[in-house]
Structure formats: structure tokens, C-alpha cells
Structure 1
Amino acid sequence: MTLNKIAYSAFIAFMASLFTMVSVNALSSGERDEAADDELDAITLDELAEHDGAESCWKAIHGRVYDVTDYIPDHPTDEEIMLEWCGREATEGWDNKRPGVPHSPRADGMLEEYLVGRLVDEEGEPFESEAATEPSDTVSQDTDTDEARLSPVDDERLHRALLGLPLDGRYRGVFSDGGEMQVNVQFDLRDGRLSNVSYRHLAYRGVDYLALEEGDELYPVMVQHQQITERLEGEPVTRVFALYEPERMVDDIDGYSGATLRGNKVISAIRDALNRGVYSWP
């Protein structure tokens, strides 16, 4: 046997051994992960919801719960983006850092440092998020789709982006002041018109307006905010500027003035959403 044949045989044997080691390690790692999940503390959705602020921020991602409180000051984006997912099942946000773009493998590795438990349902069984079990509403990455094959001449989405026009899709935006999130809006845009306008968060000086009931002192202000969402439905997105004179958009309920409505904060949240870009595609 020549020297070259001996070297080649040794190389093949080495690669076969290496492949076997990698395969065994991958299988054993999977077994360790499953075993580790069983050993983690079980955390229900109700328990998760108790940690919904900057003082204690827990998130559930792909069935595991993470205490990311200490990381909030180091997160590269605005604090409100992190706080939006505190106390919640956050797989959707993690898998869509931008529409169709998940967090990086490096971020996945960093996340494990903050692992505190596993998410379970009321029966103590592993909780499966909708984001993990239902088809994604983000843009398909399959390059064989008709939409992906559109030429620059025909791609209307590209045209609108290049012209600085808002794209069709779902948007989310916030208004914060003094480190406190006051308004968090969500809406859909289709051909420049608003639909499905709603508040994910609406608060001021410790008052959660979305939790108010009829008869509460500030309930009329909450009703005024609801009127905003109702009267923006189907309107061009430019209609939001009417909120600088909120009396044009809402009724004066029980003597509450337009100033109490603080319509400019709602405008700021909507414009923040447009500046952030599409949250998810239709």
C-alpha cells in the first residue's frame, strides 16, 4: 500500500469517527435537553403574568420561561420593546424580530442564561404556543412562491417601500414618557386605510384604562379612546392627524374635554408604529 493510500485511509477513518462522535453528541444533547425540561420548575400562565414589568420581567419562549429582568438595561432597542412581552407567551415576538426574521443563534445562546422554568397549562402539561403550532402570518421564505418571483417592475411592495409609503400589514407602536409606557396601539393597513385599530396598553399615572368599568371616575376617558379606534376604522391613515383636535373625533362625555383625551399621545404611538415598519405581514 502506497503512502498516499495509507494517508487517505487514515483520513476516511478519522472523518468516520468524527461523524460518529458528533452524531452521538447531538443525540445525547437532545436527551439532556428533554431531561432538563422535566427538571425545570413548572410555571403556569397565571404565574408568568405576575412578572409583567421592568421590576420583574419573565417571558415564555418555545415552552421555556426566562427571567430577563437584568438584561433590560442592556437590550439594544428601546426598553418598551422588551416590556411589551413581559409576563406573556413571547414566542411570536422572538421568532419575528422583524417580519419573518427570528433572533440570531447568538441571542438564543444568551437567552439560556436567564432560564428559570418551563411553561405548563392548567393540567400541568407542557404549554404549546399558537406561534409554534399554527402557520406563521409572516412572509414565506420559499423562493418558489409567485410573490417571491415578482420582478422589480411588478413588485408593488417594493414600489411602496422605495417611495416611503406605508406597506400593507400589521403595525404596533408605543408612546412612553418618563420610562412609563402609556399607549400601545395595534392596527392593520390595507391600501393606506386603517382597520382593526385597538389598544394593547392604555395607562396614565398608574391607572390602567383598559381595566376600568362603567361607573369608575375615569371611565368616560376610556370610552373616548374607544371612540378613536371606532372612528379610525376604514379611514385613510392620514386621518390620525385629526387627533390634534380630538373634539373632531370623539364626543364630549360627562364634561370630559378633548384635552383630557391626550390625542397627541395616540398619534405618537401610531407614528411610532409606522416608523418601526410592518410587525407582521397579511
Structure 2
Amino acid sequence: MTIQKIAYSVFVAFMASLFTLVSVNALSSSDPDDAADDDLDPITLEELAEHDGAESCWKAIHGRVYDVTDYVPDHPTEEDVVLEWCGREATEGWDNKRPGVPHSPRAEGLLEAYLIGRLVDEEGEPVEAATEDTDTVAERLSPAEDERLHRAMLGLPLDGRYRGVFIDRGVIQVNITFDLEDGHFTGLAYRHLAYRDDDYLAMEEGDDLYPVLVQYRQILERLEGQPVTAIFALYEPERVVDDVDGYTGATLRGAKVISAIRDALNRGVYAWP
């Protein structure tokens, strides 16, 4: 074989290899996840909202919908933590297991087993999660300006929405939600308040234990606008609430409310302002 033929053969082989690489790259340029999403059943926000409890818990995360009903009892935290996100877009909670810390790759692998569809609007178009662009945040704030960073480094609670529970013997007695603004309480509310078979939030004026509900509400009224440290007054609830129809502060269990608030602070921000 002459040198010219060898050179020609090498050139042909090189061009064939180059063509193959270009073809493979073109075929793989489309996102495989996008192709997979096209095969998933479309699920609207309205349909998603129908599955908002322990009996049927669906979540939307990054445009995909997951039926995690069977996993709720196996979740390592209290069931209430998972149920908070049932029936709605839950990307924010997934990406912030703790403030700024997403769930692990192992958790992502577990999640895929519960994939059932893709989230769409009424026109059938994909619904994307509304998440903040971290690159934009980094460009906007320097370490010298980022108050969240300052508070975190000093061990101070961050501004945001918090949710916490007090559980005794596996039963939730107090579930509380509140916002912090510069370390002060706002928007305090009970999401669950019960003892044994008594659901205080379901009581109406005239019920025997309704005065106790009034006192529990007074706790939140007195904490509104106060700094976080005001919770320690609840160790002596008679200093915080009024005597109503013969019920004294001793009727209350202020330590339960303190525990629920501290549980919320330990969990970290539930939602950013």
C-alpha cells in the first residue's frame, strides 16, 4: 500500500469517527428527563390539591408529582412534618431540609420510586417550581451585607416562617406556626391544640373547656411582637393569661407551648419571607 493510500484511509477513518461523534452528541443533546416527563401522566394543581392528607399524600417537586402516601409512616421525622407539604408544590421544602441544605442524593433515589406524574397548568403546560436563583442572591449580597449569614453565624434565629410541635407518647398536643421578623414574633397561630380526647380548636363558647382555649389564645396575643426570649414567661403562665370563669393559669401547660416553639426553632426556617 502506497503512502497516499494509507493517508487516504486514515483520513476516511478520521472523518467517519468525527461524524459518529457529532451524531451521538446530537442524539444526546436533548434532556432524557424531558423525554421521560412527556411519558408521565399530566396532573393539575387542582388535582394535586385533592391529595393533601395522610390518607393520600401527593407532592410536586421540580415539576414532577410523587405519591408518598406509603412512605409517610416510615419518614424519620414526625408525620406532621411530611403532611405539611401534601397536596401542593413542595420544592421549597425539598430543597431546604435545613435552611440552604437540600435532601441527600439517597433521598432523591428513594423519591423516584413514588413518581406518578408531571405537574401541569389548566392548559396542560408544565408548571415549574418558583425557586430563588441562588446565583442572583450571591450577586446581590456580599458576606458583609448578608444578614441571614450574620444571624446564622451568631447562632441567632433567622427571619422566616416556623412550624413546630409538642408530642407526648406519640400524640401531637400542640402544633404552632409563627413568623420571625428581626427576632420578634408575628403571625402566631395554633394549627393543632388538644389533650387526650379534647380538641380545643373545635370548641365553641359555652363548652366546659372553652375558657382554656381562650387562655391559650391569650398566650399568642401576649407573644405577638415580642422577642423570642419572651417564651420563658410561659413557665409562669399565670403572669401571661387572665383568669377566665374560674380557670387559673395552672390549667395551662405553658411548657408545652414553649416546647413547640423551641421545636420550630430547632427545625429551622419552614419558609422564607
TM bucket, shorter chain:
0.7 to 0.9
Deviations along 1:77-104, one digit per CA (max 9) or x if unpaired, are 3444224335x42524334333455545
Q: Is 2:106 the counterpart of 1:113?
A: no
Q: Is 2:74 the counterpart of 1:68?
A: no
* Distance in 1 (alpha carbons) for counterparts of 2:138 and 2:210: 52
SS of corresponding position for 2:51:
helix
Q: 1:146 aligns with which of 137, 140, 149?
A: 140
Q: From the CA coordinates, give the structure whose radius of gyration is larger.
A: 2
SS of corresponding position for 1:142:
helix
Q: How many residues align?
A: 263
| Gap runs ≥5 in structure 1 | none
Q: Residue in 2 aligned with 1:184?
A: 175
Structure 1 vs Structure 2: percent identity of aligned residues?
Answer: 57
Alignment of structure 1 residues 6-155 onto 2, 5 Å: 6-23=12-29, 26=32, 28-33=35-40, 36-37=41-42, 43=47, 45=49, 47-49=50-52, 52-53=53-54, 56-61=55-60, 66-86=66-86, 88-91=87-90, 92-103=92-103, 107-115=107-115, 132=129, 140-147=134-141, 149-151=142-144, 155=146
Code of the aligned partner of 2:159: D
Whether the 8 Å CA contact 1:58–1:65 is kept in 2: the answer is no
Aligned CA distance change for structure 1 residues 20 and 119 (closer, same or farther; 3 Å) = closer
| Gap runs ≥5 in structure 2 | 1-6
Deviations along 1:95-115, one digit per CA (max 9) or x if unpaired, are 433345554565445334335
Aligned CA distance change for structure 1 residues 217 and 43 (closer, same or farther; 3 Å) = farther
SS of corresponding position for 2:98:
coil
* Distance in 2 (alpha carbons) for counterparts of 1:28 and 1:267: 50
* Distance in 2 (alpha carbons) for counterparts of 1:8 and 1:260: 86
Whether the 8 Å CA contact 1:166–1:274 is kept in 2: the answer is yes
Q: What TM-score does the superposition give when structure 1 sets the normalisation length?
A: 0.74
Q: Residue in 1 aligned with 2:165?
A: 174
Q: Is 2:239 the counterpart of 1:248?
A: yes
